[in-house]
Structure 1
Amino acid sequence: MKKVVFLLICIQFSIAIKAQNNREKIIKSEVKSAVVFLENAQVNREKTVFLSKGENTLKFTNLSPFIDSKSIQIKAKDIEIQAINFQKDYLKQIKKNPELQKLKTQLSLIENNINSKNVDLEIVKEEVVFLKSNKTIGGNQTLTATTFKEAANYYGSKIKALKTTEFKLKNAIKTLNLEASKIEKQISDFTSNKNFGSGEITIRLKSELAKNTKFILSYNVDNVGWYPTYDVRVKNINAPLELVYKANLYQNSKVDWTNVKLSFSSGNPTKSNKVKEVIPYFIDYGTNPPNYKNNINQVTGVVSGSGEPLPGATITIKGTTIGTTTDFDGKFSLEIPDTNSTLLINYLGFKSKEMAINSNYINVNLEEDYNQLDEIVVVGYGTSRKGSRKNDRKIGTTLSGAVAGLSIRGASSIKKEKARTKVSTINTKQVVNQTTVNFEVVKPYSIKTSNKNFSLTMKVFNITSNYQYYSFPRAEQSAFLVAKITDWEKFNLLEAEANIYFEDTFVGTTLIDTRVAKKELEISLGVDKNVAIARNKEKDFTTRQFIGNKKEEARVWNYTVKNNKNEAINIVVLDQIPISMSETIKIELNTDVTKGVLNTETGEIKWKINLPSKEVKNFKLKYAVKHPKNYVINLD
């Protein structure tokens, strides 16, 4: 009997030990590093956990609710992964930003103050109404001059005091409303009040030994990304071009990043990797060929949702790295390349939206995305022994340096900045992989989750450039300065907007589009007002002659180029002559008068001019058109 009781006790103890060994452990970890892609980020966490022999269940808590469950990876030695589960805990609110709570408290105090002053204002208004309704002197008393004067003085002083108080109260309310409006805009810059829940990853595993094990947890998270922009600064046409390479980071994963090792990658895991196929191009009578030309160079607009403007919304050109964010009023402005025609608009808590670019001004209204509140559950990857999973999806392995690449710490042509144009940069290391480029931030960086857009200067290049002026006065009588960079590939530039500063003056924005660059990368630096261009028709030589059944029309254009700068310039002036589409129409260029070079296929005339400082160059274009006299030809 004693043996049986002892055996039962041992069995119960064994069951209790096994249950204790398999008890769920809550794991709190920190983000150690993050690779920020163009539209999301790969987050890496590390934690050393004591594992009991046998089965263990680990729950990593306080994670982002926007984890892509397909991207979850677990790395650990000598363990067997049995199952992985991702879900959201809506009972545990994500910790609110203390700065946001402070702003809400300030707003509440201001609103209470406004309400109090509105009450005071109503009382003053009632007193004014009461005073006005009782200003008539009545009763049995005899009205004398003294009595009338005393009543008038009393009424006057009282009404003046009330009106003064009313004026002060209205001004105070106006000031408080302005202050409240500013705080509301700051609050709107933070995360909305919607409860997105807290992400949790539960791992069931088996360990052959009781031991401490280091876990590396990585996953991709949405509502994080970056896009490049540039500052292009040129002091004068004899100085090198300064190119400031910036990363514009948005981090709204609902989890703060503290002292995280950052890197920015040109990769985009959300983009399809399928090779595009040729679609048949059918042609018939009345059909039109594809139109690849986009005449819209810039688009502006407002992004709103639920009737309110959305600050911090991200707008990108679909399929490119060209992007921007909305300001406090939801407004945006973006340069548009010729080869793309779709806007992609994203904002946390709202459905993403694509809009075709068919106008220079586009207003966008986003719909709330209630599906973001749905729980996502993923059941494991299957069994993997000793930290090796053959079937796991290793998104971004080519981005993490698995393929041998070249580390670049700088180049001999990159010089130190001068003090007058010193730009604060974060220390980065540029790593070139087989298909992507990573900019690794050397020192850890802290980024709080919010709707704010953080602009980080990653690199500053001083580049020796060739400067060339261009003018097409037929379209616009201005001289455009273009910088030509011959070895642009080594800088690993992405297509993006660029702010242009010429001669210490902001002259506007342009696009740096490396996709269409060939031998040279051309960057337009805008119009130089110190180079004057004029094109005028010479009326004395605008003639019509009739010879038999033929008619001849001649045109002469005069050009003037004046260099008002303190240095010589090289300028290319372009114009054109008509191209005949009929054998009965003949075009003759007078080469004795026109000294430019003719392109017979396009009709383009090109003059290359070296113009010293303060000099003026005059030249002409003369051509004639011969055609049957009973046909009308429209010449400019």
Structure 2
Amino acid sequence: MLLFILSFTICNAQDIIEKKVTSTVSKATVFLNSAQVTRTKNIAITKGVQILKFIDLSPFVDKKSIQVKINNVEIQSVNFQKNYQKFSTKSEQQKTFENQLEALILQIKKENINLNIVNEEISFLKSNKNIKGNQTLTGVVFRDVKQYYSSQIKTLYNKQFTLKAKIKTLEKEKTAIKKQINDMFVEKEFPTGEIFIKITSSSSIKVPVTLTYNVANVSWYPTYDIKSKDIDSPLTIVYKANVKQNSKVNWTNVKLSFSSANPSKSTKVGVLKPYFLDYGTRPPVYNNKTGEVTGTVYSREDNAPLPGANVLVKGTSIGSTTDFDGKFTIKVPDNATELVFSYLGYLPITRRITSNMGSIFLTEDNNTLEEIVVTGYATKKQKKGNLGKVLQDKTAAVAIRGINSINDPETDYAIPTAKTENQTSVSFEIVKPYTLPSSNKDYVIAMKTYTNTAEYTYYSIPKIEKNTFLIATLKDWEKMNLLEGEANIYFEDTFIGTSLIDTRSAEKVLEISLGIDKNVTISRKKLKDFTTKQFIGNKKEEDRTYQIIVKNNKQQEINITILDQIPIAKREEITVTLDENSSGKLNKKTGEIKWNFTLKPKNSKTMNLKYRVRYPKGFKVFLD
């Protein structure tokens, strides 16, 4: 009886038709750290129960996200698995590079063999150069022997030199191709993904089947090009998407969109700290923090640098990638606390932010090395073969623009996009079909160009830094749906440096630092003749006087804001008095002094800051 039931079950299982379905990605929405892809295929479905097996998919499919749409058909189950008998297909370009590398390695081996032969011949000739025996050595014989030895050793040394030079050249070519391969492709092998859809149909029909799911190892982050010809011109913002697509499946002519949803010298302006005055306390220290973080990312297994690793400010869209030496530099907002590091085939990690992150080590993800594979009714642990070491010589991911970053600011060189504002996110849809191969590269796509009227103001805190920063203020900035990100600054047709767009802290207006303008100079010095210290009764008085001079060397009139400060007393017996001749506006809570004024071309303005501190005799306060 048991045998009959088992045979019946097996026969029924064999009656279920399994149809392999090959398909391509037709639509992809890239989120900040994943992507949703859609495949649609017209499939002839027979009457009864059958299984549609979508093959050659990404191994990084999130099985919880799979959605299937088929009209007039009952969907009974949907499952995802990895096929370790079939690995992701290498592109023709990768095969070409690997064939070149293999040929070079073979040629280097042959030339090393030839070099070893020459070395042996030299050694043999040297060991037999002494003439021995009982023969009489005449002058003619000695001359012939000498000429023979000289001729042979010279020929062999020339061969040795030529072979060493050739091997050195071949080694350089091998290193270059290794770097190219590592730049574009991941050396490790990955299985392919498969989705099984069990369906029941009451009739034989041909219907479109739409398969939608999320994949990992795809991400994007925004960066910007911000340009202005001068302070009388509008501000141009080029909104760019930095995309990494390493799902192990090429996207060819897909309907592509980007969503804000999330399944050198700094141009950052300083901030004054309140100057609290008490016994034994010192003035605030300004170390000119740049808001810039650096470090290097390595593989823990072999201490090799990881090029193209993702670096993201946690909780934001601000991101960067490592160069060919595994090094990274990223701008961070003031309230940022952690960075997230990730790389294909490695476990992501989070680290607290310091100005120099030092060495960051990523550990290989064992889940990509070892999987549970189901075969019939048995389970066995299948381990992948040698995945190979990550190459020591890494190459930085090359940004592919297809555009000129220093074009005229009025030129819109962005790819046509359609912007969609959703309830909780914003997406930009590339109007024309776009191709994104799976690789280690970062692709830079200019999505949108905005031209806005801006108010330009110069801003300086000479106590911290004797430079003036140009600030562009934008109203109605929310309409551009900007995300946090780094920006390349171009002013007066010159690349100035990088800045940071921090939309989270912006309110009615968005302020963007356009960097230091050397044509507006500023100085601050303490006037010793007006700095005094005297005793009055049981009190001690100290005066401080500072002179600030700003000069406009530009051809245009400018608006400028200057900030300085006086200390704030924390005790009643300590008083701080601002001299009435100091013309700046005082904020009594923070001690900040502000001057706002307009400065004509080639003109200068002098401001004096003078204050007096009175405190009990016998105590000490630090004013400088």
* 8 Å Cα contact 1:21-1:52 kept in structure 2: no
* 2:314 aligned to which of 313, 318, 326: 318
* 2:594 aligned to which of 606, 610, 635: 606
Q: For residues 57 and 138 of structure 1, do their structure 2 counterparts lie closer, same or farther at Cα, with a shift above 3 Å needed?
A: closer
- Structure 1 match to 2:448: 459
Matched, 1:488 2:482: no
Matched, 1:267 2:261: yes
- Structure 2 match to 1:63: 57
- Structure 2 match to 1:374: 371
- Structure 2 match to 1:360: 356
- Structure 2 match to 1:171: 165
* 8 Å Cα contact 2:260-2:426 kept in structure 1: yes
- Structure 1 match to 2:432: 443
Task: Give the drift of 1:552.
Answer: 1.1
Query: For residue 500 of structure 1, what is the amino acid of its counterpart?
Result: I
Q: For residues 234 and 162 of structure 1, do their structure 2 counterparts lie closer, same or farther at Cα, with a shift above 3 Å needed?
A: farther
The whole-number CA distance in structure 1 between the counterparts of 2:67 and 2:12 is 27
The whole-number CA distance in structure 2 between the counterparts of 1:165 and 1:520 is 73
Query: For residue 498 of structure 1, what is the amino acid of its counterpart?
Result: A
Task: Give the drift of 1:296.
Answer: 7.1
Matched, 1:426 2:415: yes
The whole-number CA distance in structure 2 between the counterparts of 1:424 and 1:152 is 75
Equivalent residues in 2 for 1:66-465, closer than 5 Å: 66-135=60-129, 140-142=135-137, 144=139, 158-269=152-263, 297-305=291-299, 306-307=301-302, 308-372=304-368, 373-375=370-372, 422=411, 424-465=413-454
Q: For residues 597 and 114 of structure 1, do their structure 2 counterparts lie closer, same or farther at Cα, with a shift above 3 Å needed?
A: same
Q: For residues 161 and 468 of structure 1, do their structure 2 counterparts lie closer, same or farther at Cα, with a shift above 3 Å needed?
A: farther
The whole-number CA distance in structure 2 between the counterparts of 1:241 and 1:157 is 75
* 8 Å Cα contact 1:301-1:364 kept in structure 2: yes
What do the CA deviations read for 1:81-100 (whole angstroms, capped 9, x no partner)?
A: 11111111111222112211
* 8 Å Cα contact 1:296-1:360 kept in structure 2: no
What do the CA deviations read for 1:430-473 (whole angstroms, capped 9, x no partner)?
A: 01111111101111111111111111111111221111111111
Task: Give the drift of 1:168.
Answer: 3.1
Q: For residues 466 and 159 of structure 1, do their structure 2 counterparts lie closer, same or farther at Cα, with a shift above 3 Å needed?
A: farther
Matched, 1:520 2:509: yes
The whole-number CA distance in structure 2 between the counterparts of 1:524 and 1:550 is 45
Task: Give the drift of 1:169.
Answer: 2.8
- Structure 2 match to 1:288: none
Query: For residue 499 of structure 2, what is the amino acid of its counterpart?
Result: T
The whole-number CA distance in structure 1 between the counterparts of 2:64 and 2:163 is 60
What do the CA deviations read for 1:90-121 (whole angstroms, capped 9, x no partner)?
A: 11222112211111111111112222222333
The whole-number CA distance in structure 1 between the counterparts of 2:598 and 2:244 is 47
Question: What SS does the aligned partner of 1:91 have?
Answer: strand
Q: For residues 158 and 622 of structure 1, do their structure 2 counterparts lie closer, same or farther at Cα, with a shift above 3 Å needed?
A: farther
Once structures 1 and 2 are overlaid, which stretch shifts more, 126-135 or 442-451?
126-135
What do the CA deviations read for 1:182-203 (whole angstroms, capped 9, x no partner)?
A: 1111211244343421111111
Task: Give the drift of 1:360.
Answer: 1.6
Q: Which runs of 5+ in 1 are unaligned?
A: 1-14, 270-293, 378-416
The whole-number CA distance in structure 2 between the counterparts of 1:420 and 1:299 is 29
The whole-number CA distance in structure 2 between the counterparts of 1:195 and 1:160 is 50
* 1:627 aligned to which of 608, 615, 618: 615
Task: Give the drift of 1:58.
Answer: 1.3
The whole-number CA distance in structure 2 between the counterparts of 1:604 and 1:152 is 92
The whole-number CA distance in structure 2 between the counterparts of 1:310 and 1:201 is 32
* 8 Å Cα contact 1:296-1:336 kept in structure 2: no
TM-score scaled by length of structure 2: 0.84
Coordinate RMSD, CA, aligned:
2.6
Question: What SS does the aligned partner of 1:103 have?
Answer: helix
Equivalent residues in 2 for 1:586-605, closer than 5 Å: 586-592=575-581, 594-605=582-593
* 8 Å Cα contact 2:227-2:409 kept in structure 1: no
What do the CA deviations read for 1:251-304 (whole angstroms, capped 9, x no partner)?
A: 1111111111011011112xxxxxxxxxxxxxxxxxxxxxxxx96722212222
Question: What SS does the aligned partner of 2:85 have?
Answer: coil
Q: For residues 152 and 486 of structure 1, do their structure 2 counterparts lie closer, same or farther at Cα, with a shift above 3 Å needed?
A: farther
The whole-number CA distance in structure 2 between the counterparts of 1:552 and 1:150 is 104
* 1:45 aligned to which of 39, 43, 52: 39
Task: Give the drift of 1:157.
Answer: 5.4
Query: For residue 371 of structure 2, what is the amino acid of its counterpart?
Result: D
What is the count of residue pairs matched by the alignment? 557
Matched, 1:474 2:463: yes
* 8 Å Cα contact 2:320-2:329 kept in structure 1: yes
The whole-number CA distance in structure 2 between the counterparts of 1:565 and 1:316 is 39
Task: Give the drift of 1:204.
Answer: 1.3
* 1:576 aligned to which of 555, 561, 565: 565
Task: Give the drift of 1:327.
Answer: 1.9
The whole-number CA distance in structure 1 between the counterparts of 2:73 and 2:143 is 101
Q: For residues 128 and 591 of structure 1, do their structure 2 counterparts lie closer, same or farther at Cα, with a shift above 3 Å needed?
A: farther
- Structure 1 match to 2:272: none
Once structures 1 and 2 are overlaid, which stretch shifts more, 501-510 or 580-589?
501-510
Task: Give the drift of 1:156.
Answer: 5.3
* 8 Å Cα contact 1:54-1:207 kept in structure 2: yes
What do the CA deviations read for 1:565-604 (whole angstroms, capped 9, x no partner)?
A: 2222221111111111111111121122x22111111111
Query: For residue 619 of structure 1, what is the amino acid of its counterpart?
Result: M
Question: What SS does the aligned partner of 2:87 have?
Answer: coil
The whole-number CA distance in structure 2 between the counterparts of 1:376 and 1:219 is 22
Question: What SS does the aligned partner of 1:553 have?
Answer: strand
Task: Give the drift of 1:234.
Answer: 2.1
Question: What SS does the aligned partner of 1:238 have?
Answer: coil
Once structures 1 and 2 are overlaid, which stretch shifts more, 104-113 or 299-308?
299-308
- Structure 1 match to 2:379: none
Task: Give the drift of 1:505.
Answer: 2.4
Q: For residues 508 and 419 of structure 1, do their structure 2 counterparts lie closer, same or farther at Cα, with a shift above 3 Å needed?
A: closer
- Structure 1 match to 2:542: 553
Once structures 1 and 2 are overlaid, which stretch shifts more, 527-536 or 489-498?
527-536
Q: Which runs of 5+ in 2 are unaligned?
A: 1-8, 264-287, 375-405
* 8 Å Cα contact 2:292-2:355 kept in structure 1: no
Once structures 1 and 2 are overlaid, which stretch shifts more, 180-189 or 432-441?
180-189
The whole-number CA distance in structure 2 between the counterparts of 1:179 and 1:123 is 24
* 8 Å Cα contact 1:87-1:375 kept in structure 2: no
* 2:604 aligned to which of 601, 612, 616: 616
TM-score scaled by length of structure 1: 0.82
What do the CA deviations read for 1:160-210 (whole angstroms, capped 9, x no partner)?
A: 544444333333222222221111112112443434211111111122222
